[in-house]
Amino acid sequence: MSDSRGARMSRRGLFGLGAAGAAVVGAGVVASNTLLDEAPVAHAASISDPFPFYGEHQAGVVTPAQDRLHFVAFDVITKNRAELVELLQEWTAAAARLTQGKEAGSFGAVGGAPEAAPDDTGEALGLPASGLTLTIGFGASLFDERFGLAGKRPAALADLPKFPGEQLIPEISGGDICVQACAHDPQVAVHAIRNLARIGFGKVSVRWSQLGFGCTSSTSRAQATPRNLMGFKDGTNNLKLEDAELLRDQLWASAQDGSAWMAGGTYMVTRKIRMAIETWDRTSLAEQEQIFGRNKGEGAPLGKQAEFDAVDFAAKGADGQPHIKADAHVRLAHPSNNSNAHLLRRGYNFVDGSDGLGRLDAGLFFIAYQRDPRKQFVPVQMKLAKNDALNEYIKHVSSGLFACPPGVRDAGDYWGRTLFE
Amino acid sequence: MSDSRGARMSRRGLFGLGAAGAAVVGAGVVASNTLLDEAPVAHAASISDPFPFYGEHQAGVVTPAQDRLHFVAFDVITKNRAELVELLQEWTAAAARLTQGKEAGSFGAVGGAPEAAPDDTGEALGLPASGLTLTIGFGASLFDERFGLAGKRPAALADLPKFPGEQLIPEISGGDICVQACAHDPQVAVHAIRNLARIGFGKVSVRWSQLGFGCTSSTSRAQATPRNLMGFKDGTNNLKLEDAELLRDQLWASAQDGSAWMAGGTYMVTRKIRMAIETWDRTSLAEQEQIFGRNKGEGAPLGKQAEFDAVDFAAKGADGQPHIKADAHVRLAHPSNNSNAHLLRRGYNFVDGSDGLGRLDAGLFFIAYQRDPRKQFVPVQMKLAKNDALNEYIKHVSSGLFACPPGVRDAGDYWGRTLFE
């Protein structure tokens, strides 16, 4: 075994080499992959270039899904609109630095004043950018009377209905502002959220926070489909960054949708879904596969051979019964059975320790992006909540809905400018 | 940016190639590193060879620290000694497979019966071994009257004293049996613990469980020193696998220590240490550095230049005061001030969401291995608990002490055989 295991590349060292050095890393990785004639390697790519921060859309949506998540929802505690805007500007500047592998601000030891608290907490010193993206969203509660935003609440940010069976915990639901941090290294994702919280001291308060790992839905055709904690491939038919036309139709909000400030933005739904994994683990393979409507090993639709074979909902087996049952998850959720409603899913597995009753507290932190939840998440989830055979093994315990503004165009722009100006 | 980001190498694909294929991966990674003239890359190594499972000592102690942790403590609920031994045998067989990148048992889709629950939960299908190690320990409570082990309780497994200031939560402390899973991929570590819990259904119950990331102490001189969530390098003077003589003297139990069954084993202390990170983040750099006795950027002892410079506790500054204060963490914890008592630390950072009071629930899950806690952890921690300037910012909320038996010698051996036979 190599002694290099576990050692880390210096953030400063990597970026001191500039783009040429980073490109060499990429080339080395590709070379080793091609010899294996296999899917490319996730972890090697974690040291490659950072993702661009500036752009028409926020990063972290169609960005090829990174492996780790730290998600936070804040309550705004200042009542001063100017202070909130100033915070968004400070956060934007910090995010532009953090996503490029830099510290949040000047670090005491290298230029800061020793009598002041450092402008970066330090735990990511020496770590590369690790593909960090930071994606902000505004919850419906921000559009109350505090900041004069009531008239700007988008129609698509309508409160979610109550879904049958959900058991939501208010303390870990909602929030005025959310930030999704995704990276290939959890320390980098945690460092980013923690520094945003530090910068927001006295203006925002952490309402709830969630760590996740193993993004359960690939968002690019170049990625292999990962598995959720039920052991099934998840996201085979996910909206992917290569689906340009669908992304335009179903992901990005347009000025014609009624809220001009959201043009280029998107709407994020979060659902923390606790799984009864101990019960699931004692369920037969045949039942598990019937519930999903796919086989477990390959992820192929029942009655088909390969993962990406088209699902045939009419096909019947020798017994005259449909291969895919009426209450199978894939049948109920499939766009062809939902007026062609797609979602860009970007959820993560979670394990939050144990529940005090001898069971792991584990499941899926579901995240989905879309142009209009009223036409996409809501009708699909209503159908699932009523009929999905999977409901016996899952429980929705938290919920969030956020309007994610368009991307930050350049260093003179900031998160939410179109909303506040 | 490469489209390969986030994709995953197939576990079967990797191992289908055998050792030669794995070596090629390593070579590719090394080639790209050398062009950078920097420390080697952690994440690329995560796809390299698995660590050996069989040996004189358990893996996961001196093994170069992996980046992710899933730790679990079980209560044994069967009262039947034979059933407990059978479980340990089943666990050992599963661990031998899991650590080598295989599934825990036959997976339904490829040979199992569809009417049976699969013998593997499936969420690691397609993932490489990722450096997984599984390390078992036995708590003092296992040595009660239930299993006839009272006479075999090692003297070194004496209950820890109550330390000043600790605020332990019984529900997340102790346990009859613990398993430490370390890997470069959290999904692999979680999969391993989850399958051990599945195998143990009806015989053991999950008492508590903890996820962690970013091992805060390097255990090999080839590893760069990582940082804890206070932003400081942690483990500069840790016991390391290259310290052969110290490991023999201070890490591994010997037959002469009084419990022959523990020869080749070691004792593990766990402490969940919650950090007041929001308060810490508002503390001046100078105060932070005085508390640790090291500077934050380089990790050098105060008054010195480089991380590995020897600490000089007598040296004074121009003001006549010692560079390193009387209550500095490094002074109180240093072996030279503790009868040369060393610890092999292997703790992990944790973030367990938020605490409902606007703060992140974050800190250090401390793990330390040693030959005799009565001579190592206990006196050092008693001194720290009484005097450490750091105490203002930390709180110990859980505690564990476990006897980790020697390694499993071969496929005919099992975890704890020397204890039960």
Averaged pLDDT for residues B196-207: 96
Q: Do A123 and B229 touch (CB under 8 A)?
A: yes
> To the nearest 10°, the Cα dihedral for B299, B300, B306, B312?
-150
Backbone dihedral angles phi then psi of residue B151, each to the nearest 5 degrees: -75, -10
Q: Looking at CA atoms only, how far is residue B42 from chain A in angstroms?
A: 5
Q: Do A227 and B42 touch (CB under 8 A)?
A: no
What's the one-letter identity of residue B212? G
Between residues B37 and B226, the one the model is more confident about: B226
Q: Are B178 and B213 in contact (CB under 8 A)?
A: no
pLDDT in tens, A192-211: 999 999 999 999 999 999 99
Q: Which residues of B touch A5 (CB under 8 A)?
A: 42, 45-46, 48, 64, 66, 131, 223
From the list A64, A352, A353, the residue facing B3 with the nearest CB is A64
Q: What is the pLDDT of residues A217-257, one digit of tens each?
A: 888 888 889 999 999 998 888 999 899 999 999 999 999 99
**Residue B301 CA to its chain's centroid (Å):** 25
Distance from C-alpha of A12 to C-alpha of A126, rounded to nearest angstrom: 6
Using CA atoms, how far residue B273 sits from A119, B230, B276, in Å, is: 24, 12, 10
Quick one: which of B56, B42, B47, B10 has its CA closest to B25?
A: B47
Q: Do B285 and A117 touch (CB under 8 A)?
A: yes
Query: Phi, psi at residue A43, to the nearest 5°?
Result: -70, -30
Out of A199-213, A402-416, B213-227, B367-381, pick the least confident: B213-227
Query: Does B47 score more than 60 pLDDT?
Result: no
pLDDT at A202: 95
User: What confidence tier does A126 reach under pLDDT thresholds 50, 70, 90?
Assistant: confident
Helices (H), A251-397: 277-280, 285-292, 329-333, 377-387
Mean pLDDT of chain B: 87
Query: What pLDDT is stored for residue A108 in this prediction?
Result: 55
CB pairs A-B closer than 8 Å: 415
B-chain CB neighbours of A295 within 8 Å are 109
pLDDT at residue A105 tops 90: no
Of A44, A207, A224, the CB nearest to B44: A44
Q: Shortest Cα distance from B385 to chain A (angstroms)?
A: 24
State the pLDDT at residue B398.
Answer: 98
Instruction: Give the separation between CA B170 and CA B174, rounded to whole angstroms.
Output: 7
Picking from B113, B207, B284, the nearest residue to A115 by CB comes out as B284
Res B168 pLDDT > 60: yes
- Tell me the pLDDT tens digit for each residue of B264-308: 999 999 999 999 999 999 999 999 999 999 999 999 999 999 999
User: What is the percent of chain A with per-residue pLDDT over 70, rounded to a whole number?
Assistant: 87
With cut-offs at 50, 70 and 90, classify the pLDDT of residue B43: very low
Q: How many helices, marked H, and strands, marked E, lie in chain A? A: 11, 9
Rounded mean pLDDT, B392-415: 98
Count CB neighbours of A421 within 10 A: 8
Average predicted confidence (pLDDT) for chain A: 87
- Residue of higher predicted confidence among A112 and B294: B294
**Residues B136, B416: contact at Cβ < 8 Å?**
yes
Q: Is pLDDT of B40 > 80? A: no
* Secondary structure percentages of chain B, helix, strand, coil, to 5: 30, 20, 50
Q: Do B40 and A224 touch (CB under 8 A)?
A: no
Residue carrying structure tokens 């520094």: A195
Q: Residue A201 carries which DSSP code?
A: B
pLDDT at A291 over 50: yes
For the CA atoms of B48, B53, B56, B57, what is the dihedral angle to 10 degrees? Answer: 80
Q: Distances in Å between the alpha carbon of A119 and those of A14, A103, A116, A134, A186?
A: 22, 8, 9, 18, 20
Give the whole-number percent of chain B exceeding pLDDT 70.
87
The pLDDT score that the predictor gives to residue A288 is 96
List the single residue in A8, A210, A224 with the smallest CB-CB distance to B7: A224
Cβ contact A35–B42 (<8 Å): no
Q: What is the pLDDT of residue B107?
A: 63
Strands B360-370 and B266-275: antiparallel
Of chain A, the end-to-end C-alpha distance in Å amounts to: 57
Q: Work out whether strand B68-76 and strand B177-183 pair parallel, antiparallel, or are unpaired.
A: antiparallel
CB contact under 8 A, B118 and A231: yes
Give mean pLDDT, residues A171-183: 98
Q: At what angle do helices B186-199 and B81-98 cross, to 10 degrees?
A: 150
Q: Is the pLDDT of residue A75 over 70?
A: yes
pLDDT band at B5 (very low <50, low <70, confident <90, very high): very low
- In this prediction, residue A224 carries a pLDDT of 87
Chain B CB contacts of A3 under 8 Å are 40, 64, 220, 222
Query: How does pLDDT run across B64-97, given as a tens digit for each residue?
Result: 999 999 999 999 999 999 999 999 999 999 999 9
Q: Phi and psi (nearest 5°) for B183?
A: -160, 170
- pLDDT given for residue A112 in this prediction: 54
Inter-chain residue contact B353 with A208, CB threshold 8 Å: yes
Q: How far apart are the first and last CA of chain B?
A: 57
- What is the nearest CA distance from B96 to chain A, expressed in angstroms? 18
Q: Report residue B63 as tokens.
A: 């093994």
* 3-class SS of residue A406: coil
Three-state secondary structure call for residue A231: coil
CA distance A394 to chain B (A): 16
Would you say residue B41 has pLDDT above 80? no
Identity of the residue numbered A315: A
Q: Please report residues of B whose CB lies closer than 8 A to that of A286.
A: 114-115
Query: Is pLDDT at B42 greater than 50 in this prediction?
Result: no
What percentage of chain B carries pLDDT values higher than 90? 78
Mean predicted confidence (pLDDT) in A258-278: 97
Residue numbers in B near A209 (CB within 8 A)? 351, 353-354, 360-361
Shortest CA distance from A349: residue in chain B = B187
Smallest CA–CA distance, residue B70 to chain A, in Å, is 9
**Which of A14, A38, A118 is the closest to B285 by Cβ?**
A118
Nearest CA in chain B to A67: B6
Residue of chain A with shortest Cα separation from B284 = A117
Which of chain B's residues have a Cβ under 8 Å away from the Cβ of A278?
Answer: 197-198, 201
Residues near B33 by Cβ (< 8 Å), separated by ≥ 6? A4, A9, A28, B40, B41, B44
Query: Cα A340 to the chain's mean position, in Å?
Result: 22
Q: Which residues does chain B have within 8 Å of residue A215's beta carbon, measured at their own beta carbons?
A: 6
The reply to whether residue A36 touches residue B17, judged by beta carbons under 8 angstroms, is: yes
C-alpha separations of B208 from A149, B203, B296 in Å: 45, 16, 33
Which of A37, A47, A278 is the closest to B41 by Cβ?
A47
Nearest C-alpha of chain A: how many angstroms from B255? 30
pLDDT at residue B32, as a whole number: 29
Let me know if A256 is exposed, middle or buried by CB neighbors in 10 A (0-12, 13-18, 19+): exposed
- pLDDT, tens digit, for every residue of B297-334? 999 999 999 999 999 999 999 999 999 999 999 999 99
- At B111-145, the pLDDT tens digits run 456 788 889 999 999 899 999 999 999 999 999 99
Q: Do B358 and A26 touch (CB under 8 A)?
A: no
Cβ within 8 Å of residue A98, ≥6 positions away: A104, A132, A134, A191, A192, A195
The model's pLDDT over A34-64, given as tens digits with 9 standing for 90+, comes to: 222 223 333 334 455 799 999 999 999 999 9
Distance of CA B78 to the CA centre of its chain: 27
CB atoms within 10 A of CB A111: 8
Judge whether residue A143 has pLDDT over 80: yes
ipTM: 0.87
Q: Is the per-residue pLDDT at A172 higher than 80?
A: yes
CB contact under 8 A, B171 and A121: no
- Distance between A302 CA and the closest CA of chain B, angstroms: 12
Q: What are phi and psi of A368, to 5 degrees?
A: -140, 135
Instruction: Work out the number of other CB atoms within 10 angstroms of the CB of residue A319.
Output: 6
For the four alpha carbons of B303, B304, B305 and B308, in that order, the dihedral sign comes to negative
The answer, as to whether pTM is greater than 0.90, is no
Burial tier of A273 (Cβ tally within 10 Å: 0-12, 13-18, 19+) = buried
What pLDDT, in 10s, does the model give residues A404-420? Answer: 999 999 999 999 999 99
Nearest by CB: A228 against B44, B123, B286: B123
What per-residue confidence (pLDDT) applies to B235?
A: 86
Kindly identify which residue of chain B lies nearest to residue A170, measuring between CA atoms.
B356
Q: How is B124-160 classified by DSSP, letter by letter?
A: TTT---TT-EEEEEEEGGGGSTTTT-GGG--GGGPPP
Share of chain A above pLDDT 90, in %: 78
Q: Nearest by CB to B39, which of A10, A25, A351?
A: A10
Q: pLDDT tens digits, residue range B326-367?
A: 999 999 999 999 999 999 999 999 999 999 889 999 999 999
Which of B9, B114, B223 lies at the smallest CB-CB distance from A285? B114
